[in-house]
Structure 1
Amino acid sequence: MIDEAFLAGDLTAVQEAVRKAAAAEIMPRFRQLAAHEIVEKNGPHDLVTVADRLAEEHLAASLTAILPGSVVVGEESVHADPAVYDALRGDAPVWIVDPVDGTRQFVRGEAGFCTLVALAHRGELLASWTYAPVLDEMAVAIRGRGATLNGRALHAGSPEPGAVLDVATSHPDYTTPEQKRALLGLRTEGVRPRPCGSAGLEYLAVARGELDGVAFSWEYAWDHAAGLLLVTEAGGAHTTVAGEPFRIAGGNALPFTAARDAATAERIRSLLAGG
Structure 2
Amino acid sequence: MTMPLDVERLADLLRRAAKAEILPRFRRLGSGDVRSKSEPSDLVTEADEAAERMIRAELEVIAPSALFIGEESVAAEPDLLGKLADADFAVVVDPVDGTFNFASGIPAFGVMASVVWKGETVAGLIYDPMGDDWVMAEKGAGAFLRRPDGEAVRLSVAEACPLDAMVGMASPGYFFGADRDRILANLAKVRFFANYRCSAHEYRTFAGGHVQFVLYNKLMPWDHLAGTLIAKEAGGHVARFDGSAYLPSHVDGGLLVATNEDSWHMLREEIIGH
- TM beyond 0.5: yes
Q: Which runs of 5+ in 1 are unaligned?
A: none
Residue 116 of structure 1: aligned partner: 112
Matches of 2:200 and 2:16, distance apart in 1: 19
What is the 5 A alignment of 1:1-275? Answer: 4-6=1-3, 11-150=7-146, 151-160=152-161, 164-172=165-173, 174-184=174-184, 186-250=186-250, 252-254=252-254, 256-274=255-273
Matches of 1:268 and 1:113, distance apart in 2: 27
Contact map agreement 2:88 2:119 (CA 8 A) in 1: no
Matches of 1:236 and 1:64, distance apart in 2: 33
- Mean CA deviation greater in 10-19 or 97-106: 10-19
Moved over 6 A (4+): none
1:66 CA drift (Å): 2.3
1:183 CA drift (Å): 1.8
Contact map agreement 2:158 2:212 (CA 8 A) in 1: no
Matches of 1:123 and 1:69, distance apart in 2: 15
Contact map agreement 1:96 1:117 (CA 8 A) in 2: yes
Contact map agreement 1:148 1:154 (CA 8 A) in 2: yes
Matches of 1:92 and 1:69, distance apart in 2: 9
1:108 CA drift (Å): 1.4
State, as a whole percentage, how many aligned pairs show the same letter.
29
AA matched with 1:221:
P
AA matched with 2:267:
I
Contact map agreement 1:239 1:266 (CA 8 A) in 2: no
AA matched with 2:14:
V
Q: Deviations over 1:42-73 (max 9, x none)?
A: 12210000100111111112223222300111
1:10 CA drift (Å): 5.4
TM-score (norm 1): 0.91
Q: Deviations over 1:243-263 (max 9, x none)?
A: 111222125423x21122222
Contact map agreement 1:25 1:51 (CA 8 A) in 2: yes
TM-score (norm 2): 0.91
Partner SS, residue 53 of structure 1: helix
Once superposed, what is the RMSD of the aligned Cα atoms? 1.9
Q: When the two structures are aligned, how many residues end up with a matched partner? A: 269
AA matched with 1:223:
D
